[in-house]
Amino acid sequence: MRPFEAGSGRLTGVTGEHFRANDGPDASPDVAAGAAPEPVLPDAVRARVVALAVDLFPSLGPDVLPGPLRRFAHFTPARRAKMAGPSVAAALTADAEFRERLAEKAVEAAGPLGEAVAAGTPPGAADPVEVAALAYLARPPHWTALVEAASATAAAAAESEQVQAATRQLDRLAEQLDRVRANAKADTDKLRSDLATVRSEADELRARVRELSKALRDSEQDVRRLTEAVSTERGRVAAQSSTADAEIRRLRSRLADAEREREQGKSATRAGRATEDARLWLLLETIGNATQGLRRELALAPPDTLPADAVAAEVAGAAAAVEKPGAGRLWAADDPARLDQLLGLPRVHLVIDGYNVTKTGFGELALEQQRTRLLAGLAGIAAQTNAEITVVFDGASRLAVAPGSPRGVRVIFSPAGETADEVIRRLVRAEPSGRPVVVVSSDKEVADGIRRAGAYAVPSIVLVKRLERA
């Protein structure tokens, strides 16, 4: 890019320190005036000047940007244009150095068109708005004329657009008028046809009214005959009603006798049931004693490996990938006393959907803190009861080293490709028929499945309340 040639008034180059026409005899009157008021920019030119400024913010150093504009430098272009527009316009008017440095970047970015505008000789085929925006920034000779020419061009384009819009509107109105006329003619023809149809229907209705009038007279005669027959029938029904009332009173008396007999039968049944319950208790006591004797005779020791241990070992062997933990749906809260009753069953196995419980009770904590808090609470329950406790977590967030299990609590992380819900179902299926199994989960699908397998389903909120009470 070449500098101004002295005395020529042509912009042949631009630098950061001198981006304006020289003061020679051919300088622009607008430049020579110096203090003359700037022309009012058309909306399109002003918008283009602001767009050029916000687009070139990143290429200007923070020392060039005026203070009010520096906070917009790191915004996105769209946000800069929206937020910094008014401030940019004011800075361009008040800060000549900022405008000159911005003009240097704008002319350089515009290429040949920028050089032509800076020289005061823009090509005639160029966009007048672009030319006026560059001229406003670079201030070549007669730049105000370029701005006025852009204003006139924009006004002419707007007027032409208005004329074209009015022409299109007239064409649309003409088409609408033709359609209205065609519709009106069609409606008129239809109304004439409907009128003829209505007249024909009116004649038919008159004939029908005459027929109905005759039928009405015949019906009135029939009504009179039927009224007389109804009066006769009412007398007969009254006699039958009197007989029926007497029969109802007799049946009510028999019903009262039957009720008394039924109450007597209930009393006898309750007495017999008490006897049967005593017999059943004696039978169960006998069976229990026999079972204890058989256990002593067979010398059966408590098993070293429980069914849930086998499932946990299988899961640990298959787990190799990292999965994301899931979360179940919340159910309505319940009384934790129900859980205490279930934990009091002999040899009960408590299976817990870990993350389902933690996200129900303290989901605001990190996953590691959720696991730690749950396991600490379960350790207390294990110490208070004789229940076997197994807690299952989804294995997606498992660390390289699995956390330790507290005494009396078995911890399982589901392997890759298997969720905690599926591991819980496997644990339930692994237990022998008849052993009480309690599953804590608010996942309705899991609860329905384990109920069908014979296990007890308890919502997560129940265990949360039980832990809070402890």
Percentage of the chain exceeding pLDDT 70:
73
Q: Which amino acid is at 329?
A: R
How many angstroms separate the CA atoms of 7 and 19, rounded?
Answer: 16
Please state, in angstroms and rounded to a whole number, the distance separating the CA atoms of residues 292 and 274: 27
The CA-based dihedral angle spanning residues 267, 270, 272, 278, taken in that order and rounded to the nearest 10 degrees: -150
pLDDT band of residue 223 (cuts 50, 70, 90) is very high
Do the strands 456-458 and 437-440 form a parallel or antiparallel pair, or are they unpaired? parallel
Contact 389, 378 (CB under 8 A): yes
The pLDDT of 446-460, averaged and rounded, is: 91
Residue 424 scores a pLDDT above 80: yes
Identity (one letter) of the amino acid at 405? Answer: S
Inter-residue long-range contacts of 22-27, CB under 8 Å, 24+ positions, other chains counted: 26/141, 27/141
Predicted confidence at residue 1, as pLDDT, reads 35
Mean pLDDT over the full length of the chain: 77
Question: Which residues have CB under 8 Å from 184's CB, separation 6+?
Answer: none
pLDDT at 230 over 80: yes
Domain coordinates in residue numbering, the chain: 29-141, 180-301, 307-469
436: Cβ contacts below 8 Å, ≥ 6 apart = 342, 345, 346, 347, 348, 349, 456
d(CA 185, CA 191): 10
Outline where 299-336 has alpha helix (H): 307-318
Task: Tell me the C-alpha distance between 382 and 390, whole Å.
Answer: 10
Which two structure tokens, joined as six digits, stand for 121? 């000789």
| CA–CA distance, 223 with 228 (Å, rounded to integer) | 9
Over range 118-136, report the average pLDDT.
Answer: 79
Both tokens assigned to 301 = 């020791």
Domain 307-469: assigned CATH number: 3.40.50
Q: Return all residues near 135 (Cβ < 8 A) that are at least 6 apart.
A: 117, 122, 143, 146, 147
Report whether pLDDT(44) > 70: yes
Counting beta carbons within 10 angstroms of the beta carbon of residue 27, is it exposed (0 to 12), middle (13 to 18) or buried (19 or more)? middle
Find tokens 């499945």 and name the residue. 449
CB-based contact 415:440 (threshold 8 Å):
no
Location of structure tokens 């919340």: 330
Determine the distance from the C-alpha atom of residue 422 to the mean position of all C-alpha atoms in its chain, rounded to a whole number. Answer: 28
- Indicate the helix (H) or strand (E) that contains 388: strand 388-393
| Tokens 């006897």, residue located | 275
Q: How confident is the model at residue 396 (pLDDT cuts 50, 70, 90)?
A: low
| C-alpha closest to that of 410 among 303, 322, 306, 304 | 306
Residue 63: what pLDDT? 67
First and final C-alpha spacing in the chain:
83
21/389: higher pLDDT:
389
CB 69 within 8 A of CB 57: yes
What is the reported pLDDT for 242? 87
**pLDDT band at residue 434, thresholds of 50, 70 and 90?**
confident
Least confident among 23-32, 35-44, 185-194, 424-433: 23-32
DSSP 300: P
Joined tokens for residue 258: 């039957």
* Distance from C-alpha of 82 to C-alpha of 47, rounded to nearest angstrom: 11
Q: Residue 392's pLDDT is what?
A: 94
Q: Is the pLDDT of residue 153 over 70?
A: yes
CB atoms within 10 A of CB 423: 25
Residues 449-459: what's their mean pLDDT? 91
pLDDT tens sequence across 344-363: 888 899 999 999 999 999 99
